[in-house]
Amino acid sequence: MTLASVLKTATLCLAVATPALSGENRWRDCRTCHAVTAPDGSELARGGRSGPNLYGIANAPLKADSEFRFYSDDLRAAAATGARWTEDNFVAYLTAPDEFLRSVTGNPEAESGMHIELRSGARELFAYLQGLSN
């Protein structure tokens, strides 16, 4: 095996592994406020408690964590529309939380309780969270 073929194989392996690693790496930005805890209490991804538990977030209603009491009024209003955390909605929310809520609620002044924007890697994060919940 030549050095060139070894490098090509290594590059392909890294390219295939990058999405999963990227989602897990992105989780580091989220864990300050969020955790992923299964219904049986198993902590799948350690994190804070100031944000809702993200277990089962994929395709769940916007107000998915029934035990979390601190959703913003505007996120509650968006949840009342029946919107769900589809991959596209998750990406839109993480990219621009206030703008997402404004588009869902129709309220031009809607604001999110989350004040962080994730400009890249949201799809990988969605896949990572989805994988933890399966």
Number of domains in the chain: 1
* Full domain range(s) for residue 80: 55-132
Task: Determine, yes or no, domain membership for 22.
Answer: no
pTM of the model: 0.81
HSE at residue 21, side-chain half, CA atoms within 13 A, is 6
What b/e readout covers 96-126, taking b as 16+ CB neighbours within 10 angstroms? ebbebbbbbbeeeebebbbeeebeebbbbbb
CA distance 54 to 38: 9
Query: Given this model, what pLDDT does residue 19 score?
Result: 44
pLDDT band at 10 (very low <50, low <70, confident <90, very high): very low
At 106, which CATH number?
A: 1.10.760.10
Structure confidence by residue, pLDDT tens digits, 26-72: 898 899 999 999 999 999 999 999 999 999 999 999 999 999 999 99
Least trusted range by pLDDT, from 3-12, 49-58, 104-113, 114-123: 3-12
Task: Determine, yes or no, domain membership for 41.
Answer: no
From first CA to last CA, the distance across the chain in angstroms is: 39
Task: Determine, yes or no, domain membership for 2.
Answer: no
Task: Determine, yes or no, domain membership for 83.
Answer: yes
Give the 3-state secondary structure of residue 124: helix
Task: Determine, yes or no, domain membership for 28.
Answer: no
